[in-house]
């Protein structure tokens, strides 16, 4: 059973992004304020403003002692948590960045957002490797399968597009939601993909069946989970549960 523990006051405007730190009991938050904030779960308190930002932050990702910050401006910044400074800023998109993910097996960073494109960046020097158009409108979210063979994109046109991670070729388009897809998460075993949408529904897709062409995705369950848009889906690290958050 979930138990409410604490409220962290401090932000003066909406919070759009959270990220756990590599360091135990530390997490980061950002949104429509002027900086990325560090918090302690040990002391249940504000630690410090980690770094100022130039525009609203819609995406945060912590990886390998680096913090990736995706902004409304279409730029992303790389903050080195050891050096305690921004080491790179890239004008990646013409419109806001809504999600950032990392393909660990390829040492690549992926960004996407309102312009409907996905950009692939080298984690060595943050140079652009490849860019492709996933949709004509917003791509809201990215999920990478646990075995890193496939990548799913949640799109404003209510479709989920599945790509092969090896060469970023389109594999399949999943139609199930009636409104924009706003959240995606693969089950840790890779057997299911869960999607959330502005239609307030959760869709469970079975992706355990494979053929000569790869994974076959099949819609197996619809859950009327919320009253409004579902913005995030997170699996518990050890227990057989997942949590969803919504505009409601």
Q: pLDDT tens-digit profile of 94-134?
A: 999 999 999 999 999 999 989 999 999 999 999 999 999 99
Establish if 58 belongs to a structural domain: yes
**CB-CB neighbours of 47 under 10 Å:** 13
Residue 113 has a pLDDT of 87
Residue 102 has a pLDDT of 98
Beta bridge partners of 18: 29
Q: Are β-strands 169-175 and 57-63 bridged in parallel, bridged antiparallel, or unpaired? A: unpaired
Query: What distance in Å separates the CA atoms of residue 112 and residue 98, rounded to the nearest whole number?
Result: 6
Both structure tokens of 218:
């099949």
Residue 197 has a pLDDT of 98
Percent of the chain surpassing pLDDT 70: 98
Query: What distance in Å separates the CA atoms of residue 169 and residue 113, rounded to the nearest whole number?
Result: 19
Q: C-alpha dihedral over 220, 222, 225, 231, to 10 degrees?
A: 80
3-class DSSP state of 22: coil
Q: What residues have CB less than 8 Å from 29, skipping those under 6 apart?
A: 8, 11, 15, 17, 18, 19, 36, 37, 39, 60
Establish if 29 belongs to a structural domain: yes
Residue 247 has a pLDDT of 86
Establish if 166 belongs to a structural domain: no
First to last CA, the chain: 20
pLDDT at 64 over 90: yes
**CB-CB neighbours of 24 under 10 Å:** 8
Q: What's the rounded mean pLDDT across residues 141-158?
A: 97
Residue 210 has a pLDDT of 73
Contact 181, 141 (CB under 8 A): yes
Q: pLDDT tens-digit profile of 66-99?
A: 999 999 999 999 999 999 999 999 999 999 999 9
Q: Which residue segment(s) compose the domain that 112 sits in? A: 15-133
Q: What's the rounded mean pLDDT across residues 203-232?
A: 89
Q: What's the rounded mean pLDDT across residues 141-152?
A: 97
Query: What distance in Å separates the CA atoms of residue 111 and residue 122, rounded to the nearest whole number?
Result: 12
* Count: domains in the chain: 1
Contact 207, 192 (CB under 8 A): yes
Report the candidate in 195, 178, 177, 199 with the shortest Cα–Cα distance to residue 186: 195
Query: What distance in Å separates the CA atoms of residue 134 and residue 15, rounded to the nearest whole number?
Result: 27
Q: Which of 11-15, 198-202, 215-219, 224-228 has the lowest mean pLDDT?
A: 215-219
Residue 237 pLDDT level (bands cut at 50, 70, 90):
confident
Establish if 6 belongs to a structural domain: no
Establish if 170 belongs to a structural domain: no
Residue 98 has a pLDDT of 98
Establish if 45 belongs to a structural domain: yes
Query: What distance in Å separates the CA atoms of residue 147 and residue 30, rounded to the nearest whole number?
Result: 30
Q: What's the rounded mean pLDDT across residues 212-228?
A: 88
Residue 157 has a pLDDT of 97
3-class DSSP state of 185: strand
Residue 195 pLDDT level (bands cut at 50, 70, 90):
very high
* Mean predicted lDDT score pLDDT of the chain: 95
Residue 248 pLDDT level (bands cut at 50, 70, 90):
confident
pLDDT at 213 over 80: no
| pTM of structure | 0.95
From the CA atom positions of the chain, what is the Rg in Å?
18
Task: Report the CATH number at residue 97.
Answer: 2.130.10.10
Query: What distance in Å separates the CA atoms of residue 214 and residue 221, rounded to the nearest whole number?
Result: 22
Residue 1 has a pLDDT of 65
Establish if 229 belongs to a structural domain: no
pLDDT at 214 over 70: no
Establish if 111 belongs to a structural domain: yes
Query: What distance in Å separates the CA atoms of residue 178 and residue 198, rounded to the nearest whole number?
Result: 8
């Amino acid at each position: 059973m979930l138990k409410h523990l604490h409220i962290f006051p401090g932000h003066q405007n909406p919070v759009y992004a959270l990220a756990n730190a590599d360091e135990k009991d530390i997490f980061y938050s950002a949104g429509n304020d002027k900086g990325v904030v560090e918090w302690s779960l040990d002391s249940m308190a504000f630690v410090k403003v980690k770094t100022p930002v130039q525009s609203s932050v819609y995406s945060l990702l912590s990886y390998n002692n680096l913090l990736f910050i995706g902004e409304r401006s279409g730029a992303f910044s790389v903050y080195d948590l050891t050096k305690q400074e921004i080491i790179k800023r890239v004008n990646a998109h013409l419109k806001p960045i809504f999600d950032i993910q990392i393909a660990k097996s390829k040492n690549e960073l992926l960004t996407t957002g309102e312009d409907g494109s996905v950009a692939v960046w080298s984690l060595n020097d943050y140079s652009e490797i490849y860019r492709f158009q996933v949709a004509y409108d917003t791509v809201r979210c990215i999920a990478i399968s646990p075995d890193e063979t496939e990548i799913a994109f949640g799109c404003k046109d209510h479709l989920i597009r599945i790509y092969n991670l090896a060469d970023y070729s389109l594999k399949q388009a999943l139609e199930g939601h009636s409104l924009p897809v706003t959240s995606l998460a693969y089950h840790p075993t890779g057997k299911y993909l869960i999607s959330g949408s502005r239609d307030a529904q959760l869709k469970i897709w079975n992706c355990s069946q494979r053929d000569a062409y790869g994974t076959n995705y099949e819609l197996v369950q619809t859950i009327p989970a919320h009253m409004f848009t579902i913005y995030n889906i997170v699996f518990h690290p050890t227990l057989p549960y997942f949590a969803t958050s919504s505009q409601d």
